Amino acid sequence: MHSTDNLLHRLKELNEIGIALSQQRNLNSLLETILVAAKRITHADAGTLYLLEHEQQTLRFEILRNDSLNIAMGGTSGVPITFYPIRLYDDNGNPNHAMVVSHSALSGETVNIPDAYVAQGFDFSGTKGFDAKTGYRSQSFLTVPMRNHENEVIGVLQLINAKDHDSGAVVPFSSDDQQLSESLASQAAIALTNRHLISQLEDLFEAFIQLINTAIDDKSPYTGGHCERVPVLTMMIAEAVNRTTHGPLKDFVMTDNDRYELKIAGLLHDCGKITTPVHVVDKATKLETIFDRIHLVDTRFEVLKRDAEIAHLKTEDRGQKAEFEARIRQLDDDREFLRHCNIGGEAMSEEAQQRVRQIAIYQWRDVDGKVGNFLNDIEVESLTIRAGTLTAAEREIINHHIDITIKMLESLPWPRHLKNVAEYAGGHHERMDGKGYPRGLTREQMSVQARVMGIADIFEALTAKDRPYKKGKTLTESLTILGKFKLGGHIDPDLFDVFIREKVYLDYARQFLAPEQIDEVDLSKIPGVNLDA
């Protein structure tokens, strides 16, 4: 090929490499692309890419390739580089100019050596030792510093043994090789710096998210565990859907950007709980606010018992002893009954609720001598909660967290690859039949990701063993409820099928559930399970 045509071809290739570098997101792949591209445009047989470690003042081996010896280390090869980093300074703080790569990093100069075996001024003893062991002949060297946009050296690109395009003989690196390599090193440094900056911004962003979750965790250890587990389960389900090859969801695929977007949504799905009062989030019993008011009720029972005892002692009719003892037994039974009612269950009967109302109208005299009902209206409302521990007003407070979550997330200037975070995170309390909240969306109005998060949120809550108001359910109990939710239009039926078929529940259980929760599941007895799905 004519030298001019050859140079034009290499310049075109360099331009294509620059475009490829700007599109590469994975750091290991980016580093490998840089070295492989440099070898290709200079016809080098071998090469090494070093990155500067500022704190240690060393050059760390990142990628090493040698075609003749069939050596590929670092990068995507899967083979780690075990060589010690190259020190830029000795123990006395003197700069290490003896080695060509450290000299290039320290001086910022390109070093082009035609033959290392006759070169003066640099220590090539390590290179010669490598050659002696392998039978290789390291001859021509081109060592190029990599400078970022602030003109700081961030690494060194070293190429070894340029080969003649026609004969294949080892030749010195030409001035064209040097200029092209310097241009590539400059582009590569900028691409690396951009990748580092993006990674640092992503790390900073995730650190802020963790800061929010830490604040929630500090308010409520129970909610904090939820914020940690839901994102993990969300990604487990999403990956199961991604790998499914049949059924209605067989065409669902995720890119790395999609995964990152869903991960962020999972981490932020309950960020609005930072505004929820802790006495509501952690309400362990029906009468709990800042403290459990059941103790006030206990005190009132003691007052009633002593009133009964005083009344009994005042009467001269000793025949009323049996009536007095019956009254004391009744009060003790009522007290135990209210204590039991105070513990949130899943289905308080109408009979139990009516008994609470009957006890409520007992009369007692307070410290001011005022006679009134034994329980006030708020206490009656609390103790007759049919399921759980929250009153209707407290449930509204809890539910409001999703409005705050959406408001917070929609106020952020999301980049394009994260534009769906608010929709994913804000939909995890919606139902497929449109009866969820806050927006009453139906299945058709929701993304697959939002529906995935809905299942993750429910299953985590069912199995959570760190809630103050309940024990963690077994797999069978949890899947039974989840199956009923499928049949009742609460969760996505196709996602439930994938959840069961891919045994996501079992993978999650092994990671987060207590051994006693992981029972043997008979899928034929789980409602909604379609074993042929």
For the chain, what percent of residues have pLDDT higher than 70? 85
Q: Which two tokens stand for residue 69?
A: 């010896």
Nearest-Å Rg of the Cα atoms of the chain is: 36
CA distance 213 to 272: 10
Are 408 and 274 in contact by the 8 Å Cβ rule? The answer is no
State residue 287's pLDDT score: 63
Longest dimension (CA), the chain: 129
Domain range summary for the chain, segments of one domain joined by +: 3-198, 220-280+393-525, 294-389
State residue 494's pLDDT score: 95
For the chain, what percent of residues have pLDDT higher than 90? 43
Average pLDDT over residues 156-164: 95
Average pLDDT over residues 485-504: 95
Torsion sign over Cα 479, 483, 485, 489:
positive
CA distance 351 to 139: 94
pLDDT in tens, 453-474: 999 999 998 998 766 556 788 9
Contacts of 295 (CB under 8 A, 6+ apart): none
Q: Which two tokens stand for residue 138?
A: 């390291």
Confidence of residue 530 (pLDDT cuts 50, 70, 90): confident
Q: With the CA atoms of 510, 516, 520 and 522 taken in that order, what torsion angle do they form, in degrees rounded to the nearest 10?
A: -100
Q: Is the pLDDT of residue 19 over 60?
A: no
State residue 302's pLDDT score: 76
Are 178 and 145 in contact by the 8 Å Cβ rule? The answer is no
State residue 495's pLDDT score: 96
For the structural domain made of 220-280+393-525, what CATH number should be given?
1.10.3210.10
Are 95 and 106 in contact by the 8 Å Cβ rule? The answer is yes
DSSP conformation class of 99: S
Least confidently predicted of 13-27, 313-327, 368-382: 13-27
Across all residues in the chain, what is the average pLDDT? Answer: 85
State residue 180's pLDDT score: 85
DSSP 372-385: EESS-HHHHHHHT-
Q: Which two tokens stand for residue 478?
A: 């949890």
State residue 102's pLDDT score: 95
Q: Which two tokens stand for residue 168?
A: 């294949």
Confidence of residue 38 (pLDDT cuts 50, 70, 90): confident
pLDDT in tens, 402-449: 888 889 999 989 999 899 999 999 998 899 999 988 899 999 999 999
State residue 304's pLDDT score: 76
Least confidently predicted of 315-319, 497-501, 529-533: 315-319
| Opening angle at CA 75, ends 231 and 262, nearest 5 | 15
State residue 1's pLDDT score: 47
State residue 335's pLDDT score: 87
- In the numeric block, the tokens 């475009």 are attached to 19
CA distance 194 to 191: 5
State residue 8's pLDDT score: 60
Q: Specify the higher pLDDT residue, 449 or 8.
A: 449
pLDDT in tens, 106-154: 999 999 999 999 988 899 998 999 999 999 999 999 999 988 878 889 8
Q: Is the pLDDT of residue 331 over 90?
A: no
Q: Is the pLDDT of residue 395 over 80?
A: no
CA distance 159 to 73: 15
Is CATH 3.30.450.40 the right assignment for the domain spanning 3-198? yes
Q: Is the pLDDT of residue 177 over 80?
A: yes
Confidence of residue 30 (pLDDT cuts 50, 70, 90): confident
pLDDT in tens, 230-243: 999 999 999 999 99
Q: Is the pLDDT of residue 7 over 60?
A: no
Q: With the CA atoms of 130, 136, 138 and 144 taken in that order, what torsion angle do they form, in degrees rounded to the nearest 10?
A: -80
